[in-house]
């Protein structure tokens, strides 16, 4: 039995936030129906789209869901969603601020017909506060929340993170809220409104940076490159090797003491480096000592030696190397799946429950592929009624 077997979810969202949240729910066994506008999720039509108009990005976060076209600007389309919401457990949405309420599809309206309904809303800045209601995307939240100001090197420009950390971290937070609400419902019998904002989800990840800034009374540089975000741990950096780069960090004095004999450098005996504060105060000198050693060896050799000494490290790999990494596929977070249409790559699940198998991913559906099935199976509509909705432009 899967963890969420029997749980029905409507995803009224696009891009990455709500779709990643509902992808995780689907991998845990929930039946997810993705509601799309007549034109479809804009991420279907990116430059990586295949002959069915499905981009790789869309494939990754929407595989395993049923999809239907529904025009929420059409009164008949809104009526269909209301009816669907009467018989589902969760509605996950990240439409533009206030859109669901303007459509008459907000939590208060939908829960009046289904008190057990859980609505999970993904927003940019939340429903209250000075920025409430402002539109937001991953990049703009990174700008507004000092992520860009703390990414890159001291004398360089503010830089976005390589991965879309805001959308995916927020999607994971939203899953946690949904699961908590489902658990509470088993005791109360009532649903509730779950809200996660992009800014709230990413801000805690700045803990080291904020702590360093406060403790230094604002004198610490915001951008610390590959060093520790709060400049509170040294060594903590990427170091050049004979064939690439490797990351090395010593989070405790014990790690440093194990590293010193490997470096074979008398400068490690300098009393300035005897404790963490001293090493941090002279981080440049410590990094020079470490890199003199790493430059003499390959990154694989260094990784082997450091692992044997239980010192945290990892070679810096490329995207191409990541896609060939056997560990990634052994874990199943990236999946190559074959169906009647051939092989496709998608995301598995990063969640492992010992007594609840994850659901095998299916290829992302074509736009509106399950519209008629959903209307017939979930609402019991006849072919004539479905044709009438089509004629009205609702589907």
The residues spanned by each domain of the chain are 8-203+326-392, 245-315
Per the prediction, the chain carries an average pLDDT of: 96
Q: Cα(190)–Cα(208) distance, rounded to whole angstroms?
A: 39
Percent of the chain with pLDDT over 70: 100
**pLDDT, position 16:** 96
Cβ contacts of 345 within 8 Å, gap of 6 or more: 56, 59, 60, 334, 335, 336, 337
**pLDDT, position 344:** 87
Instruction: Please check whether residue 282 is in contact with residue 273, taking contact to mean a CB–CB distance below 8 angstroms.
Output: yes
Catalytic residue among 113, 167, 285, 324: 167
**pLDDT, position 48:** 86
Strands 66-69 and 90-93: unpaired
The tens digit of pLDDT for each residue in 92-133 reads 999 998 999 999 999 999 999 999 999 999 999 999 999 998
End-to-end C-alpha distance for the chain, whole angstroms: 34
Active site residue 52: no
Burial of 389 from C-beta contacts in 10 A (0-12 / 13-18 / 19+): buried
DSSP per-residue letters across 281-349: HTHHHHHHHHHHHHTTS-HHHHHHHHHHTT--EEE---HHHHHT-HHHHHHTSEEEEEETTEEEEEE--
* Confidence band, pLDDT 50/70/90 cuts, at residue 52: confident
Give the Å distances, CA to CA, from 248 to 78, 108, 287, 320: 55, 52, 10, 22
Q: Does domain 245-315 have CATH number 3.30.1540.10?
A: yes
- Asked if the model's pLDDT at residue 12 lies above 90, the reply is yes
* Confidence band, pLDDT 50/70/90 cuts, at residue 51: confident
Mean of the pLDDT values across residues 347-359?
93
The CA-CA-CA angle for residues 42, 48, 53, to 5°, reads 55
Strands 236-240 and 245-249: antiparallel
246, β-bridge pairs: 239, 315
- Asked if the model's pLDDT at residue 72 lies above 90, the reply is yes
Cβ contacts of 115 within 8 Å, gap of 6 or more: 189, 190, 191
One of 3.40.50.2300, 3.40.50.10540, 2.40.40.20, 3.30.9.10 is the CATH number of 8-203+326-392, namely: 3.40.50.10540
**pLDDT, position 371:** 97
The tens digit of pLDDT for each residue in 249-300 reads 999 999 999 999 999 999 999 999 999 999 999 999 999 999 999 999 999 9
- Asked if the model's pLDDT at residue 37 lies above 90, the reply is yes
């Amino acid at each position: 039995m899967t963890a969420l077997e029997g749980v029905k979810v409507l995803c009224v969202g696009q891009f990455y936030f709500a779709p990643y949240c509902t992808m995780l729910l689907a991998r845990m066994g929930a039946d997810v129906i993705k509601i799309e506008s007549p034109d479809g999720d804009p991420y279907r039509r990116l430059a990586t789209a295949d002959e069915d108009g499905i981009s790789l990005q869309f494939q990754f976060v929407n595989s395993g869901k049923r999809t239907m076209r529904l025009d929420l600007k059409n009164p008949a389309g809104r009526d269909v969603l209301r009816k669907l919401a009467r018989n589902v457990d969760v509605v996950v949405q990240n439409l533009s601020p206030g859109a669901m309420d303007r459509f008459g599809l907000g939590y208060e309206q939908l829960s009046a017909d289904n008190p057990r309904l859980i609505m999970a809303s993904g927003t940019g800045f939340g429903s209250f506060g000075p920025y409430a209601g402002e539109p937001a995307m991953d990049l703009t939240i990174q700008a507004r929340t000092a992520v860009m100001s703390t990414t890159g090197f001291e004398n360089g420009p503010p830089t976005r993170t390589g991965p879309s950390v805001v959308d995916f971290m927020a999607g994971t937070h939203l899953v946690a809220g949904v699961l908590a609400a489902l658990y509470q419902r088993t005791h109360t019998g009532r649903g509730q409104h779950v809200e996660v904002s992009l800014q709230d989800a990413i801000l805690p990840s700045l803990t080291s940076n904020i702590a360093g800034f406060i403790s230094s009374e604002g004198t610490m540089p915001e951008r610390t490159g590959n060093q520790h975000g709060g400049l509170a741990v040294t060594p903590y950096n990427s170091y050049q090797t004979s064939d690439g780069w490797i990351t090395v960090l010593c989070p405790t004095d014990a790690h440093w003491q194990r590293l010193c004999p490997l470096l074979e450098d008398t400068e490690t005996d300098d009393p300035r480096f005897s404790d963490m504060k001293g090493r941090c105060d002279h981080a440049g000198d410590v990094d020079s000592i470490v890199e003199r050693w790493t430059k003499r060896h390959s990154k694989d050799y260094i990784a082997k030696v450091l692992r044997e000494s239980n010192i945290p490290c990892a070679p810096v790999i490329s995207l191409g190397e990541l896609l060939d990494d056997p560990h990634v596929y052994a874990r199943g977070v990236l999946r190559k799946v074959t169906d009647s249409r051939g092989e496709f790559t998608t995301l598995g699940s990063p969640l492992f429950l010992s007594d609840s198998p994850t659901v095998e991913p299916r290829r992302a559906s074509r736009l509106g592929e399950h519209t008629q099935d959903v209307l017939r199976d979930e609402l019991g509509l006849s072919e004539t009624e479905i044709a009438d909705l089509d004629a009205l432009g609702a589907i």
